[in-house]
Amino acid sequence: MRITLSALLISTLVLSSCGGWRDSRINPTNWFGQSREAEAPAAENLNPLIPQEEEKANLLGSRNDKEEDRSLPITLIKDMRIERTSVGGILTVEGEAARNGAFNAELVPSDPQEPGQLEYTFRVTYPKAATYQGTVATRTIRAAVSLSEQDLTGIRVLRVVGKENAREIRR
């Protein structure tokens, strides 16, 4: 009876000392905190009706066959989180588009990168034809990018920029 009671008492003490594991820096789920609102960069004062670059034609009068990038930053970044994997992490971002029909969502690395910070721009492509604005649920879009341990070494801040806001996660 004494041995059973002693073993039960010792195991209870050992198990209760593990409560600090949840908040420790050793726990991989605590490597990045919660995302929070950050200030978005100031928008350029551009008139969308005036083309910024002249379209150039070759000698025969035909234009270059390069496909233009029609993607735009998403209107609002609603949520972001990073989930640890065995080889790094997966950065998942949820945003709200300006209108229905947005597609080709992607997280594009920003240039230049600041030291200790990894910044992405959440870009989507809208259809050429006009679409309704719709409800928030129909305009919600998610994008993710896989990050390796090499990508995350030395990174203290993960930041995703949209048109109206930005969100960041700090280590």
- List pLDDT tens digits, range 107-161: 999 888 888 899 999 999 999 998 898 899 999 999 999 999 999 999 999 999 9
DSSP designation for 59: T
Within a domain: residue 1?
no
pLDDT at 54 over 70: no
Tokens, residue 152? 């995350």
Tokens, residue 110? 């920003």
Within a domain: residue 55?
no
Mean pLDDT for 41-47 is: 64
Within a domain: residue 7?
no
Res. 1 pLDDT band, cuts 50 70 90: confident
Within a domain: residue 63?
no
Q: Is residue 96 within 8 Å of residue 163, measured between CB atoms?
A: no
Within a domain: residue 44?
no
pLDDT at 11: 81
pTM exceeds 0.75: no
Within a domain: residue 58?
no
pLDDT at 40: 72
Within a domain: residue 59?
no
Provide the domain count of the chain.
1
Return mean pLDDT, the chain: 83
DSSP designation for 110: P
The domain containing residue 134 runs over which residues?
A: 33-39+70-171
Q: Which residues contact 44 (CB under 8 A, 6 or more apart)?
A: none
